[in-house]
Amino acid sequence: MQTFKVDEGRRGFLKKSSAITALYLMPSLFVKAISFDKLIPLPIAKEKLQLEINGKTYNLEVDARTSLLDLLREQIGLTGTKKGCDMGQCGACIIHVNGKRLNSCMSLAIDNNNSKIVTIEGLAKGDQLHPMQEAFIKHDGMQCGYCTSGQIMSAVACVREGQATSREKIKDYMEGNICRCGSYQNIVDAIMEVKKSGKPV
Amino acid sequence: MSDFNKYFKMDADDDRADGFEKVTGKAKFTAEHQIPNLAYGVFVCSTIAKGTIKNLDDSLALKASGVFDVISFKNCPTIPGYNSLTADGKRNNQEWRGLKVLSDNKVRFFGQPIALIVADSFENATDAIKLVKAEYEKEDFETDFHKTRLDASKLKANGNYKRGNVAAYKTAPIFIEPEYNIPIEVHNPMEMHASIAVWDGDNKLTVYDKTQAPKRTQSAIAGAFGIPEKNVRVIVEFVGGAFGSGLRSWLNLPAACIAAKKLNRPVKVVLTRPQMFSLVGYRPQSWQKIGMGADASGKLLGISHSAISNTSRYEDFREGIVDVSRFLYACENVDTDYKVLPLDVSTPTWMRGPGEVTGCYALECALDELAYKLKMDPVELRIKNHADVNPENNLPWSTKYLKECYETGKEKIGWKNRPKIPGTLKENGMLVGYGMGSGVFGAGRNNASVRVILKADGNIILQSAVSDMGPGTTTSMTKVAAENLQMPLNKIKFQLGDTDFPPGPGQGGSSTTSSLGSAVFLVCETLKQNLKELAVQKIDSFKNLQTVDIDVKNENIFSTKDSTIKISIADLMKASEKQSIEIVKDSQGNNPQVIKYSSFSFSTHFVKVHVHPKTGAIELKHVVTTGDAGKIISENTARSQMLGGAVGGIGMALKEELKFNHQTGEIENASFGTYHVPLHTDIPPIDVWFVNKPDFIVNPIGAKGLGEIALIGFAAAVANAVFNATGKRVRDLPITPEKLGFKNA
Ligand code: FES
Ligand code: FES
């Protein structure tokens, strides 16, 4: 089975537009397509999957074609993670899988068996917001709020991975997180503040 | 005139009211509502640009796992709004506007939905797309704007304007007549357009829809299905950006409603990102020519502004591209001419700063070009031709502080360092240039209604059927109420996004704060008056007081004459045995002819650029953007809006361009990987500055709009700065190293 995994940095990925086009045009993995007349719609088997999401264990039955993003949003009801393109090109769907950020639209759910996942819903400790969430409010790192979950998950990873050493470094790391409302400057301000505060992220 | 300004002060706590929901992922956007028994609809789209579907074979798709139905012209139920005539042969004024999706076998543009697959899951629906086979009869089509616009017979005239002599610029001692081109730009909000339709019986419907105008959506869908408006409830709690794309309903909405009705279960239709490039409008492509002449002192003697923009073959979309030339500068001889060019593409729509963004790009670049010819500072040229009254209708401006914007912009960007001769200044090996542009947009005020509910515990709820695509309507309305009632912000909640609330305006044309804010102001004034009267009626110590001698502040009602006469709102509610007080108020819009003033917001944008002398790579180094938008209600969210405008302007100037394959009519770059929007790395330090002086002629809260002026004029500032850096004038957006003459950059 072929999987859509983005292992390299988002920046590199964005530049490979041909690879993206290829993914987009890829025919379904589950229909043996030769010519139209020979297409046979097959029943789709569900597969078992265990995940830990925001500290809670889920035992799931999942359509093998379902992306991790759609699993979260459509099946589990964790809609805090956003779909902005479904093509690995916008960063709205970024979550943490086993401690690393991942564009969840580009990963099949079933390829994440036994993974530990943290989404935007799992960042705060009860009523206590995560320092990055607080900083986003303070610096108004949002307008519509649709890219915000992905920006925050990426921003937390940026600080954790030691990439928040300067504004330029932060911008490079965050390049794959598009904000069409244009809140970029405030987002970088928020990340800078969290980094400088030395608060644990 | 109100004394609102007297007690209005910026609150220290200026956080976005719905920030918590947005940073925790709790904010629910349209596609995120969890509805039991939901089915998923996805579009099958045409693979030709124009023609007729001869045969649509959906037999395999219907057999595919999980597929409930394939809806197309073959089996689409007719709905009343799809008829142009009523049963008795009259014109149907509730006819659905725009494409009547799924209803006929005509293809009008590449990628037009020709069928809707409805299945039990997104995966099953999507996988069945390739099982639907269409055979077409193709027709010739046109998607090439540049080629087609040269054939005058293809253009549709859309009105002229003149004052003084036509083409007077040609007789001026110094004149220019440059042409400018702007490609199609696409809104591309991060949230894709989506609708969920839930029928309750045959004539009651709830829709979750991404819209900037819930009331308009409600009446469009009620009309389309021939049911009473009150039977349609539109819910839109959060909107993930729109920038104009949500000002009208698109075909995802009727498709979801039709499917849900046919299948008797809720249906969700979410557009894909590639579909966002063709199914929800865009800023039309345009060609413009500006003739502009002046005497040696810089006094403008004539402006002629012509424009052509594209529309679709099936709808006329027009916008006020040339209008700005009639009133931004004082000039006796002005003529404008605007035509539209129908092409075999989908219909454009309003996009942030519609018309003015396009027009001001040309006008503000032309002024820059003229300034060089005159050997004059471009800001001086603008001040020389400053319009002290609106030259189009001779009405005075309600307020205009554009000169302050010029001054502040100049100072903050370091205008004094601007090289007088282009291409002569270098910094760290880079060519340096400075440029500026101005923006203007009408400060309209529309009708709006707001309900206030005062609870027994003294908490306030405000409600209106508006939506908020991001500027922060919830925040600013809460602040207007808090200032008016002199109450803490946390006691007030503003609710929106539900047509069960009193009707509010669509969020567009930079008029929400002005229109809705006026209604909030009015309803709060009325509430205070009610509380005063209630105190006089119910409370002994108030019995002999006149209401003019009573005030409401800090959740107390008190005599302004005798400080011992006082009662808290909660106690008054208790004493008068009221569970709540509810008031609905309508606030009327205004227009210049009635108020005898011309009301506009103004802006200036100053930018500094670096251009690499070898590669032509353009980098913005600094942006200063200023706004004359009246009183700033929430500085925090207002500033963010201006930042967003600058970012949009960077995209327009340097990156964004929709491209067609004119052989097939297909859009070539319908993805974020190929249509380039501004990213984190494209953004220089941006300074935002507001005049922040109220305009009480427009409305009692003193606020003009600022959503559009944030972007209008910005691209011109970049273009002018690139010229200042390089001496090369690129008039066709986006500006790229290739267009500057650098190869293989
Ligand atoms: S939704 Fe995953 S990158 Fe856009
Ligand atoms: S806040 Fe709207 S897209 Fe980023």
How far the first Cα of chain B sits from its last, in Å, is 59
Q: Which residues contact B13 (CB under 8 A, 6 or more apart)?
A: B489
What is the pLDDT confidence band of residue B9, given thresholds at 50, 70 and 90? very low
B21 at the A interface (CB within 8 A)?
yes
The closest CB to that of A184, out of B27, B191, B683, belongs to: B683
State the ligand closest to the CA atom of B647: 2
CB A183 less than 6 A from any atom of ligand 2: yes
Catalytic residue among B356, B364, B666, B708: B708
What is the C-alpha to C-alpha distance for residues B240 and B555, in angstroms, rounded to an integer? 35
Looking at residue A28, what is its pLDDT? 42
Residue B307 pLDDT > 90, yes or no? yes
State the ligand closest to the CA atom of B189: 2
Burial class (CB in 10 A: 0-12, 13-18, 19+), B358: buried
CB contact under 8 A, A140 and B26: no
What is the C-alpha to C-alpha distance for residues B165 and B167, in angstroms, rounded to an integer? 6
Looking at residue A41, what is its pLDDT? 62
Contact (Cβ atoms closer than 8 angstroms) between residue A103 and residue A14:
no
Poorest-confidence range of A109-123, B99-113, B497-511?
B497-511
Q: What percent of chain B has pLDDT over 90?
A: 92
Fold of B31-140+187-277: Aldehyde Oxidoreductase; domain 4 (3.30.365)
Looking at residue A40, what is its pLDDT? 56
- Portions of chain A given CATH number 3.10.20.30: 36-121
* Beta strand pairing call for B39-45 and B267-270: parallel
3-state secondary structure of B156: strand
Residue B678 pLDDT > 80, yes or no? yes
B685 at the A interface (CB within 8 A)?
yes
State the ligand closest to the CA atom of A85: 1
Chain A nearest-CA distance from B336, in A, is 33
Cis peptide bond upstream of B734, omega within 30: yes
What is the pLDDT confidence band of residue A45, given thresholds at 50, 70 and 90? confident
Instruction: Reply yes or no on whether B533 is catalytic.
Output: no
* Beta strand pairing call for A46-53 and A116-118: parallel
Domain ranges of chain B: 31-140+187-277, 156-177+296-390, 395-441+591-745, 448-589
Residue B715 pLDDT > 90, yes or no? yes
The closest CB to that of B29, out of A31, A129, A146, belongs to: A146
Tokens describing residue B67:
């597929």
Name residues 39-58 of chain A within 8 A of B (Cβ): 39, 41-44
Residue A144 pLDDT > 50, yes or no? yes
3-state secondary structure of B82: helix
| Closest CA relative to residue B73, chosen from B101, B104, B52, B47 | B104
Poorest-confidence range of B67-71, B209-213, B592-596, B632-636?
B592-596
Poorest-confidence range of A25-29, A37-41, B11-15, B633-637?
A25-29
pLDDT average, residue stretch A137-157: 98
Q: Specify the CATH class of A36-121 in words.
A: alpha beta
What is the C-alpha to C-alpha distance for residues B107 and B131, in angstroms, rounded to an integer? 19
pLDDT average, residue stretch B390-397: 96
Poorest-confidence range of B330-334, B516-520, B609-613, B685-689?
B516-520
Residue B12 pLDDT > 60, yes or no? no
A27 at the B interface (CB within 8 A)?
yes
* Beta strand pairing call for A94-97 and A100-103: antiparallel
What is the pLDDT confidence band of residue B658, given thresholds at 50, 70 and 90? very high
Q: What percent of chain B has pLDDT over 70?
A: 98
Output Rg (C-alpha) for chain A, integer angstroms: 18
Provide the mean pLDDT of chain A: 85
| Closest CA relative to residue B159, chosen from B416, B339, B347 | B339
Residue A19 pLDDT > 60, yes or no? no
What is the pLDDT confidence band of residue B58, given thresholds at 50, 70 and 90? very high
Residue A24 pLDDT > 80, yes or no? no
For chain B, count helices (H), then strands (E): 16, 30
CA of A146 to the centre of ligand 2 (A): 5
Residue B200 pLDDT > 50, yes or no? yes
Fold of B156-177+296-390: Aldehyde Oxidoreductase; domain 4 (3.30.365)
| Closest CA relative to residue B637, chosen from B461, B479, B444, B408 | B479
CB A180 less than 6 A from any atom of ligand 2: yes
ipTM: 0.95
Specify the CATH superfamily of domain A123-201.
[2Fe-2S]-binding domain (1.10.150.120)
Residue B328 pLDDT > 50, yes or no? yes
Pick from A129, A184, A187, A191 the residue to mutate for testing the B interface (most B CBs within 10 Å): A184
Name residues 118-157 of chain A within 8 A of B (Cβ): 119-121, 123-124, 129, 133, 136-138, 140, 142-149, 152
String of DSSP letters for B507-566:
S-TT-HHHHHHHHHHHHHHHHHHHHHHHHHHH-GGGTT--GGGEEEETTEEEESS-TT-E
The CATH number corresponding to B448-589 among 3.30.70.2740, 3.40.50.1110, 3.30.1360.70, 3.30.365.10 equals: 3.30.365.10
Q: Specify the CATH class of B395-441+591-745 in words.
A: alpha beta
Strand-pairing partners, residue B57, are B133
pLDDT average, residue stretch B501-517: 85
3-state secondary structure of B120: coil
Residue B93 pLDDT > 60, yes or no? yes
